[in-house]
Amino acid sequence: MHPVPYTAGMDEVELREFRYFIAVAEELNFTRAAARLGLAQPPLSAAIGKLERKLGVRLLERTSRRVALTPAGAVLLEQGRIAVEAAGAAIERTRRAGIQPGRLTVAVKPGTGTDLVAQIMRRCARDPRMPRLHIMFGHPGGPAAAVRSGAADVAILRAPFDRRGLDAELLVTERRLAVLPADHPLAGRAELRRADLAGEPMPRWAGTPDPAAAAHWTGTDTPSPAGRAPDGQPDGPEINDISQLLAAVTLGGAVAYLPASVARQHNSADVAFVPVTDLSPSEVMVAWPATSRSRAVAAFVSAAVEAAARHSAVSA
């Protein structure tokens, strides 16, 4: 294979070219990538060839039957995603700074550490150096994506999550409980093991969940005492939130795992919450952009850590 002649510096590569390449690299098909971008195929092929000449390396192996990434192409896919995401976040943060000056946006998923978030907000309100806090709910990609995209400055969220481009600090660790219909044969047990629920259907979160998150919520993220992760649970109903999860359990279509604090918020005679001795815990974390140099973000993280320490001491 002959190298592609180098003709331009990396500083001359445009974000548009990154986007073109990412589409082709993800689809591994020029026709589908062109349709996704709203382009004709010939200009897209020409743009990828131009990008390869600029960088002086081959990014794709093309045959009449398939398109595959070269090692250099795999690196550009990873780094190009970061570059495009970072550019978009920079633009979004700049817009927010102009439209909403003096405001710190905190992304939170409903039901995640509500008491803790309230304590953090009270602590921040007492600090004259802190900007006004704005709580954001319901970002399409979740709290981590809100921070990465620049829509939020910091997030309070549960692990696991996609930590790409983020720094994070653990705030609270709590046990998780099995949620069963009140009339389930195991509902009266003092405690359970994951093996006791083998074969029970579990709700499926809508969308395309991160594999690590899916394993966490189905209890397959840590090895069993036998030395391997337990087998996956059969799929139950598709859900979008905790209310739907509890409805699925109440109607007898599933069992589930929930953090203890969330279980306390949704106590009901229709369901039973039972400790599971070999289930991984739930971790509430604070996350922020790894490149952030914001004093307000740093002050918020400090306030969150201090509030969490007090919260844990009171809860103990």
> In which domain, by residue range, is 105 found?
101-158+289-315
**Domain harbouring 220, CATH code:** 3.40.190.10
Domain identity same for 143 and 184: no
Decide if 95 is inside a domain: no
Domain identity same for 85 and 111: no
* Rounded Cα distance, 180 and 186, in Å: 8
Domain identity same for 138 and 184: no
Tens of pLDDT, residue by residue over 47-90, are: 999 999 999 999 999 888 899 999 999 999 999 998 898 899 99
Tens of pLDDT, residue by residue over 170-200, are: 999 999 999 999 999 999 999 999 999 988 9
When pLDDT is cut at 50, 70 and 90, the band that residue 10 belongs to is very low
Pick from 258, 262, 261: which is nearest to 274 by CA? Answer: 258
* Mean pLDDT on 78-104: 90
**Where is the domain boundary, 90, 123, 141?**
90
When pLDDT is cut at 50, 70 and 90, the band that residue 225 belongs to is low
How is residue 95 written in tokens? 């817009």
DSSP collapsed to 3 states, the chain: CCCCCCCCCHHHCCHHHHHHHHHHHHHCCHHHHHHHHCCCHHHHHHHHHHHHHHHCCCCEEECCCCEEECHHHHHHHHHHHHHHHHHHHHHHHHHHHHHCCCEEEEEECCCCCHHHHHHHHHHHHCCCCCCEEEEECCCCCCHHHHHHHCCCCEEEEECCCCCCCEEEEEEEEECEEEEEECCCCCCCCCCECHHHHCCCCEEEECCCCCHHHHHHHCCCCCCCCCCCCCCCCCEEEEECCHHHHHHHHHCCCCCEEEEHHHHHHCCCCCEEEEEECCCCCEEEEEEEECCCCCHHHHHHHHHHHHHHHHHHHHHC
pLDDT at 313: 59
Strand partners, 60: 69
pLDDT at 316: 47
When pLDDT is cut at 50, 70 and 90, the band that residue 110 belongs to is confident
Decide if 4 is inside a domain: no
Angle at which helices 114-125 and 295-315 cross, to 10°? 130
Cα–chain-centroid distance for residue 155? 11
Domain identity same for 259 and 304: no
**Where is the domain boundary, 41, 59, 90?**
90
* Rounded Cα distance, 210 and 203, in Å: 15
How is residue 108 written in tokens? 């939170």
**Domain harbouring 120, CATH code:** 3.40.190
Domain identity same for 190 and 250: yes
Number of domains in the chain: 3
pLDDT at 234: 77
Decide if 37 is inside a domain: yes
**Domain harbouring 67, CATH code:** 1.10.10.10
Pick from 66, 69, 79, 78: which is nearest to 48 by CA? Answer: 69
Decide if 48 is inside a domain: yes
Domain identity same for 142 and 193: no
Decide if 294 is inside a domain: yes
* Rounded Cα distance, 271 and 179, in Å: 7
Residue 113 near residue 284 (C-beta atoms within 8 A): yes
Q: For the chain, what is the mean pLDDT?
A: 88
* Mean pLDDT on 163-171: 94
pLDDT at 224: 67
